[in-house]
Structure 1
Amino acid sequence: GGRLAPPALTNAERVAALLLEAKRFENEGDRKLARAALSEAEELDPQNPTVLEEEGELAAQQNNISLATEYWSRIVSLGPSAGAFYQRARNHLEEAARSEGTDSSETAFRHRAKTPLQLVGTERTSGNGGSPFGQELIFRFRIAADPRTKISLGQISYQFYAYDQIDAGIIVPTNARMTVGFESAFPRWGANHVEVLRVTYRLDHPVPHQRFYGYVFRLFYSGLLQDQRADPPELLLRLPSSKGK
């Protein structure tokens, strides 16, 4: 009689096999094939810290610190439950943020799993509505949508955490007034169309030496994290672990 076919591999087994393949390719000096194997593993398990760490290390070896920081940021976003991966990713993020030449506007988190919404650009300008002694800033987050998904506005939520610097370089959550809203009264996504979410930061009565330091912005759809930006990137380490609001 015929032999039984071997049982199909589970996702975890396929990821483990791809990690071994990636390591073999890397040892042979073929980083392109190593990256391809890791990308396939990431498709199977986007939250696997081993895969994310390997991708971050490979990007760092190729001096692509921006991409490496994205992977490390994703591990940090998993929280302390990621164990040693979490601590190593924190260390990498802090080191990258200190390194000369790090472009904090580009090294923010970018969720690479397939998601309906994606941040495709950010812009920061100074407003003119603050008091002479205060500070007003306007942030514009450009959001694109997967054209295959019908976006429900009620399912979109977001978080914007702003931080200020006060005496002796101490970083604290801001007490500035914040307003958030889409620039369009009726946001609609279509082919090649983006909508802009506008955040206004207004610090009317700062204490001495208080100035804006940085922010973290997180975008959610149906309660799931879609994309994220932090400037400077180490602010991700201060982020509360909570769902979109």
Structure 2
Amino acid sequence: MKNRASTHLFILLLIVACEIVGYVALRRAALIRGFEPSMIGAVRDLLLYVPIVLLLLWLSRAMKYAGSWTLYTAAILLFSMGMLVQYRLYSDPEYGSRNKAEARAEKTQTLRIRYINKYYDAEKKQLMGLPPTAPQSEDDFDQESIRRSDFTIANVLTSSFTWVPIFAFIAFAVAYWLCTRDDFLMLVQRHSFVIVLATLIPLALAVATSSAGKALGNMTPWEPSKIPFLLGFAGILTQYYRELARTYWGLPKTSNVLPLVVMGMV
């Protein structure tokens, strides 16, 4: 794959097109099973590609990024797959139902009725005690029995599924800009162990505010601590990589390995 921003921009547009097809397919599959997923939520998810494309343009034009774009495109591909799966999962009434067996039975019954309405003629329907209507077409749905989504624009504006990705995009841009500055890289290298110790602060806050194993937008408590942990880990490796390469009997010096061991214990 050529390492050109325009090539990966084209791939991103293909991903968006496939994502739209996926949302349309999920909506149709949901209607067949008697419920309608939120169109507002689908539009919200698709609009998240706007900052993704803007980030690509910012990296290529403003920041003059000349590295490999494969990692960026692969991350967006995984993000797209996860977003589509989450939309399918959270739109299903069975997922949030207290009685999942009953919700599953309702979907199954809807499929049975649809099959009967589609393939049985009026005589067979009358024998089954159903209204003797003509067979329905593929696109006919029982609009009265479909369960509508109550997800509103206000829910979108206050949802963690909206603000967490936006915050992540902004954090990515800020982190990349900082990592292009030599003074910031030197600061991380000199104070890497302190940064690792600072990992305990967001971890403690997440644990203190967590509920049912989730905190800060349905994240697991240890996720907020990953960023300073990895940053400190990179700083320690940058500071000791020359010494770690000098091994004795295949092992580095204990004084050089000790910071990594302590960091892992923290």
TM-score of the two chains, using structure 2 as the length reference: 0.19
Question: Larger radius of gyration, structure 1 or 2?
Answer: 2
TM-score of the two chains, using structure 1 as the length reference: 0.20
